[in-house]
Amino acid sequence: PGIMATIAGNDTVLVILRENSNKADIILSLKLLFARE
């Protein structure tokens, strides 16, 4: 919901957020998504 666009490479992901998006929630979601066990 707060993400406007993404661009992914081999080892990089660029995330462009919408204005007034909740950055802390998006960062937490990305950390959970990319967490390594």
- Tens digit of each residue's pLDDT (9 = 90 or more) over 1-37: 689 999 999 988 899 999 999 999 999 998 998 887 6
The total of structural domains in the chain comes to 1
Planar angle of CA 18, 23, 12, nearest 5 degrees: 80
Yes or no: say if 18 and 3 are a contact pair by the CB < 8 Å rule: yes
Rounded distance between C-alpha atoms, residue 6 and residue 8, angstroms: 7
Q: Would you state the pLDDT for residue 7?
A: 93
Range of the domain at 8: 3-33
Q: Would you state the pLDDT for residue 14?
A: 93
